[in-house]
Amino acid sequence: MTALLDVQNLSLEFRSPGNPPIAALQDVSFTLDRGETLAVLGESGSGKSITAKAIMGILPKPASRITGGRIMFDGYDLLSLPAPRLRQVQGARIAMVFQDALSALNPVQTVATQIAELYRVHRGMGKRQAHAAAVEMMRAVRIPDAAHRADDYPFQFSGGMRQRIMIAMALALDPDVLIADEPTTALDATVQAQILELLGEITERRRMALLMITHDLGVAGQLADRALVMYAGRVAESGPIGSMFDGPAHPYTQGLLGSIPSAAHRGGDLPTIQGLPPDIARRPPGCSFNPRCGYATEECRTGLPALDRFAPERAAACHHKEEVIARAAVGA
């Protein structure tokens, strides 16, 4: 059976006049099925948000170009769908929650108008009916006093409430796939927990597929079934989140997990991955991670490791994955 969303070997580059094109994504593949939560992990600039925007079809148009691969959704390739057909999918069957709700909401429209727009565009509802549906949706994401607050503008809401509005917009048409791009980064810790709980609850109840972009490993562990670790525009490792966190097969995943502060680090320096993520315009030859990697050998500096399946459902792009897994098993 094919998955609901199947991204196959997606490659994408950015081009600007006078500069060589920059490969932002290389050969990214993953699948996502109904009722499943996939966490996409990685540092800033690793290609997480670009992947999400590629699926949503909202990449900046002349600047970016898809150079290869397919995004299969429910049997259709989204990349070759004509624009009017694509718009029927966008928002209705695949929807997205943005990172910063304040900048993702139109400042000069009331929140209800913005939620109602979805009902008007996709369902052809009249103004009044769409407004009522929008208020209903605001209640569903537990905005207190929704009927009164419907005609307020985004700036009149707190950060957490704004993110709820975003979620209401994304969920308005009961999509099959929900993409959440770091939905809690702009929020404080207590509100984060509420929003995550809300997302988890709704996606579970409606059996949605959730693509959760985050760099918070705690959030990923709590919510996701599987994880996809990205580094410099490529997939470093993918697999069920439990077995990945217990025994990472890529040194980068290992480094990420090792950087979680714990009681053992009390009083000392927190562990980090040394070095900086590479400039994707100037990737090091071979494996992009080799300058920062403790396992790196000559092979890593010359040959790009393929994303190899080494166990059912688990894959990693590393020449030394056996060694990495062995090290993790010893408890290093």
Contacting residue, 130, 169, 171, 244, with another protein by CB under 8 A: 169
Q: In the bound complex, what is the minimum distance in angstroms from residue 61's beta carbon to another protein?
A: 8
Instruction: Indicate whether 5 belongs to the interface with another protein (CB under 8 A).
Output: no
Between 100 and 139, how does the x/- string for binding to another protein read (CB under 8 A)? x--xxxxxxx-------xx--xx-----------------
Nearest to 31 by CA among 60, 2, 54: 2
CA atoms of 147 and 152, how far apart (whole Å): 10
User: Which of the ranges 11-19, 129-137, 145-153, 249-257 carries the binding residues for another protein, by CB under 8 A?
Assistant: 145-153
CA atoms of 297 and 251, how far apart (whole Å): 13
| Beta-bridge mates of residue 11 | 68
Q: Which is nearer to another protein, 142 or 148 (CB)?
A: 148
Q: In the bound complex, what is the minimum distance in angstroms from residue 318's beta carbon to another protein?
A: 34
Q: In the bound complex, what is the minimum distance in angstroms from residue 256's beta carbon to another protein?
A: 27
Nearest to 168 by CA among 270, 98, 87, 229: 98
- The rounded Cα 273 to chain-centroid distance in angstroms is 22
End-to-end CA distance of the chain: 39
Cβ(74)–Cβ(4) under 8 Å?
A: yes
Instruction: Indicate whether 89 belongs to the interface with another protein (CB under 8 A).
Output: yes
* Residues contacting 167, CB < 8 A, separation 6+: 97, 141, 183, 195, 198, 199, 202
Cβ(328)–Cβ(247) under 8 Å?
A: yes
Q: In the bound complex, what is the minimum distance in angstroms from residue 56's beta carbon to another protein?
A: 4
Instruction: Indicate whether 15 belongs to the interface with another protein (CB under 8 A).
Output: no
CA atoms of 199 and 197, how far apart (whole Å): 6
Q: Looking at this protein, which amino acid is placed at residue 275?
A: G
86-90, Cβ contacts within 8 angstroms, sequence gap of 24 or more: 86/57, 88/122, 90/56, 90/57
Instruction: Indicate whether 16 belongs to the interface with another protein (CB under 8 A).
Output: no
Contacting residue, 11, 129, 153, 284, with another protein by CB under 8 A: 153
Q: Which is nearer to another protein, 58 or 306 (CB)?
A: 58
Contacting residue, 56, 78, 211, 235, with another protein by CB under 8 A: 56
Contacting residue, 35, 58, 197, 285, with another protein by CB under 8 A: 58
Q: Total residues at the site for another protein (CB under 8 A)?
A: 39
Query: What is the CB neighbour count within 10 angstroms for residue 267?
Result: 5
Structure tokens belonging to residue 327? 């090290």
Q: Which is nearer to another protein, 61 or 282 (CB)?
A: 61
Q: In the bound complex, what is the minimum distance in angstroms from residue 240's beta carbon to another protein?
A: 29
Instruction: Give me the phi and psi of 233, to 5 degrees please.
Output: 85, 5
Q: Which is nearer to another protein, 122 or 139 (CB)?
A: 122
Contacting residue, 90, 163, 203, 253, with another protein by CB under 8 A: 90
Nearest to 41 by CA among 159, 167, 218: 218
Per CB under 8 A, residues contacting another protein are 53, 56-58, 60, 62, 84, 87-92, 95-96, 98, 100, 103-109, 117-118, 121-122, 144-145, 148-149, 151-153, 156, 166, 169-170
